[in-house]
Amino acid sequence: MKNAEATEVVGELASQQWGLVTTAQATACGVDLQSLRRLVTRGVLTRVRHGVYATTGTSPSAVLEVKAHWLALRPELMAAERTGDPYLAAEAVVSHTTAAEMWGIGDLWPDGAHFTVRSRRRSRQSDVRFHRADLGDDDWVLHPVSGLPVTTAARTIADLADAGHEPGYLLDLVADAAGTSLAEKRELLEALTGKEEAFDLPAGDAAGLEDVLGEHFPAPELDGRMRAAIDEAVRPLREQIDTLMRSLAPRVTVGEDVAKMVAGTALPPGFTAALQEKIAAGMWGNVPVLPVTDTTVPPGRVTSTDTTGKPRPQIPAGEAARRRQHRK
């Protein structure tokens, strides 16, 4: 395949998955290994890891490397095929310290890319680690930023507790998850029940675990007092806004305006009142509507009103012509 055509193919593939493309995806679209090597030599592609390349302009980062490792687990499939199918997505889920880093919780030292997998497997990459487990539907989500399947904050902390991390580090994770609303107290209690010893508590000390976790969540009564204090603090501002809005409200009488608009127009009986009601309801809400007199007239006759609202007398056609001639 010519370089220009190969460049276009790999560029299209990479544009759909974070600027990355696998060897398997490229060859399936007709780009052979020799063409891939030429693209690397020309600087069109950069090798991220075995079997995965990044296109020019793709910024290197720790998250990009995790994405490359994840793509390499099923290199023949596009990322959207896997993330769009819950069964395929759950085959390999970012977990443990990698998940904690992705969520931005805790202060653990990165130690490779961790994945929880459904089936036991190995990697030739020294910095890729697999953990065999069956994850439930509530144990993982698609990360809102990276787009990768990742264990929830609660499941991540539970996994790290099982991995033997020290209580202080675990409590930092809890504090960050609570402070960023990534996990609720109930979720953490469910995930960490049975792991009390990881927090230097006696085995089975559910009450002690709840107390430890509760230190990082406001008590319900305190939460209520906080909401009340916030409401009290913003009340003056809310009142000022209400006063301003009332001062800007239109002071018009819809009934009067409608009467002027339709005066001298032949309309069916009752039409004026119905029109007046619809305008008031659709445009002015609760603005009071003044009653108007019936403006309908028999067909064929036209009336007008002077500035006082009194009907002008009808002038015969001949007399009107004579007056116009006299003015000339």
Whether residues 139 and 206 fall in one domain: yes
What is the rounded CA–CA span in Å between residue 251 and residue 265?
26
Closest Cα to residue 105, out of 187, 162, 160? 160
Whether residues 194 and 105 fall in one domain: yes
Whether residues 207 and 240 fall in one domain: no
Whether residues 210 and 159 fall in one domain: yes
What is the rounded CA–CA span in Å between residue 62 and residue 64?
5
Whether residues 225 and 185 fall in one domain: no
Q: Mind listing the pLDDT tens digit for each residue in 66-100?
A: 999 999 999 999 999 999 999 999 999 999 999 99
Select from 79, 101, 129 the last residue of a domain: 79
Whether residues 90 and 210 fall in one domain: yes
Q: Where in the sequence is the domain holding 304, given as residue range(s)?
A: 254-327
Whether residues 228 and 286 fall in one domain: no
**Tokens matching residue 213:** 């976790």
Whether residues 41 and 109 fall in one domain: no
Select from 58, 79, 100 the last residue of a domain: 79
What is the rounded CA–CA span in Å between residue 32 and residue 141?
35
Residue 91: how many CA atoms within 13 Å on its side-chain side?
16
Select from 79, 109, 135 the last residue of a domain: 79
Whether residues 236 and 167 fall in one domain: no
Whether residues 100 and 197 fall in one domain: yes
- The three-class DSSP label of residue 140 is strand
CATH number for the domain spanning 60: value is: 1.10.10
Whether residues 99 and 131 fall in one domain: yes
Considering its fold, how many domains does the chain have in total?
Answer: 4
What is the rounded CA–CA span in Å between residue 118 and residue 93?
9
- The three-class DSSP label of residue 149 is strand
Q: Return per-residue pLDDT of the chain as tens, 328 residues.
A: 788 999 999 999 999 999 999 999 999 999 999 999 999 999 999 999 999 999 998 999 999 999 999 999 999 999 999 999 999 999 999 999 999 999 999 988 888 999 999 999 988 888 999 999 999 999 999 999 999 999 999 999 999 999 999 999 999 999 999 989 999 999 999 999 999 999 999 999 999 999 999 888 866 544 555 566 677 777 887 787 777 777 765 554 555 555 555 555 555 556 556 655 655 555 444 444 444 444 444 444 444 444 344 444 454 555 555 555 555 5
What is the rounded CA–CA span in Å between residue 92 and residue 73?
8
Whether residues 212 and 259 fall in one domain: no
The alpha-helical segments, DSSP class H, found in 249-270 are 254-262
Q: What is the pTM of this model?
A: 0.67
